[in-house]
Amino acid sequence: MEVGKVPENVLKRSVLKKLYNKRPEVVLGAGIGEDCAVIELSDDEQFVISSDPITGTVEDIGTLAVQVTVNDLSAAGAEPVGILLTVLLPEGTREIKLKQVMADVSAACTKANVQVMGGHTEVTKAVNQIVLSVTGVGKVKKGRIISTAGAKPGMDFVISKWVGLEGTSIIAKEREEKLLERLPASLVRDAKNFDQYLSVQAEAAVAVQHGVKAMHDITEGGVFGALWEMAEASSVGCEIDIKKIPIKQETIEICEQFGLNPYKLISSGSMLMATEDGVGLVQALKQAGIHAAVVGKATNSNDRVILNDGERRFLEPPKVDELYCID
């Protein structure tokens, strides 16, 4: 395709016709010439809005774009309703590639029960790979928003599923050939399939029901970055036992191949939660079929500490994600 707006006939057959899921709240959605979406909510509900680009990978980019934004909304205690999607394509992109991306977007939206309400699709010389930017819209009852800043001294920190899932899956897919030179094919295959765990909607729903006080989905910067961000937003310290942080062996071994720190690796699919009853929350998540662990506590100091067999090290503000450090 040539530089500029995607032609109307392509937009109709490869974008709009791929969008199936509909929500009753959306009274005006995606269409030719429509620049805005309209959502109708009741008097006791609030909008929750999130925005994310996907730039670190082109593998399964449509699925990841939807999932990351839905996770952000879920972490705020909101019910995801819809997304606005901007698709930037490099010059020369074939229409069949756009169609596949939109099919993945549509499948992910159907799974999460959100609607693509509108957006923009363009071929541009400004990018050399497909870039998706997503704005997500959700709803929450007034007074029930959950922020990253709700942790208080003495609260337990709980982590759901396993850290590093998203980064491990991306690396296993994009560096599969190199990994197979040193690791068993079964391990690489299992790592590629970690993308099945990337939604945090289920644990968010359980946590909200349990009365969690703060939530933060663990994305760029990994679990160390998420811990810093929650502690900083909440003006608390923390003491975290690194050996209690749930992590898959596949993540450890794949990170070792590239000299990466798995605790600083992008980790969509894992949620960091602060609660007054960590053991109770872990049990509630277990009953819902979700693995989780209490990993430490919030403190009333300024120190953000990682413990490892008695050794203490201090967290630092998050820097570049380990995913971008692969040679």
Angle in degrees, CA 194, 110, 78, rounded to 5: 85
User: What is the residue whose two structure tokens read 């705020």?
Assistant: 76
Residue 7 has pLDDT above 90, yes or no: no
Non-local CB neighbours of 250 within 8 Å, separated by 6+ positions: 168, 172, 187, 190, 191, 194
Average pLDDT, the chain: 93
Residue 295 has pLDDT above 80, yes or no: yes
Q: Quick one: average pLDDT of 153-157?
A: 98
CATH 3.30.1330.10 for domain 4-141, yes or no, is yes
Span 221-248, pLDDT tens digits: 999 999 999 999 999 999 999 999 999 9
State the Cα–Cα distance between residues 220 and 66, nearest whole angstrom.
16
Helices of type H across the chain: 8-10, 61-75, 95-112, 165-174, 176-180, 185-192, 201-210, 222-234, 249-258, 278-287
State the Cα–Cα distance between residues 63 and 129, nearest whole angstrom.
16
Span 27-45, pLDDT tens digits: 778 887 666 777 888 889 9
State the Cα–Cα distance between residues 195 and 179, nearest whole angstrom.
18
Which class is 148-325 in CATH? alpha beta
SS3 107: helix
Q: pLDDT value at position 54?
A: 86
Q: Quick one: average pLDDT of 78-92?
A: 95
Q: Quick one: average pLDDT of 56-71?
A: 90
| pLDDT above 70: percentage of residues in the chain | 98
Give CATH 3.90.650.10 domain extents, the chain.
148-325
Q: pLDDT value at position 34?
A: 65
Q: pLDDT value at position 35?
A: 64
Angle in degrees, CA 178, 182, 186, rounded to 5: 90
Count the helix, strand and coil residues of the chain and give each as a percent rounded to the nearest 5: 40, 25, 35
Residue 5 has pLDDT above 80, yes or no: no
| pLDDT above 90: percentage of residues in the chain | 78
Q: pLDDT value at position 1?
A: 82
Q: Which of 11-20, 116-125, 140-149 has the highest mean pLDDT?
A: 116-125
Q: pLDDT value at position 307?
A: 97
Give CATH 3.30.1330.10 domain extents, the chain.
4-141
Q: How confident is the model at residue 18 (pLDDT cuts 50, 70, 90)?
A: confident
Span 90-136, pLDDT tens digits: 999 999 999 999 999 999 999 999 999 999 999 999 999 999 999 99
Q: Quick one: average pLDDT of 154-159?
A: 98
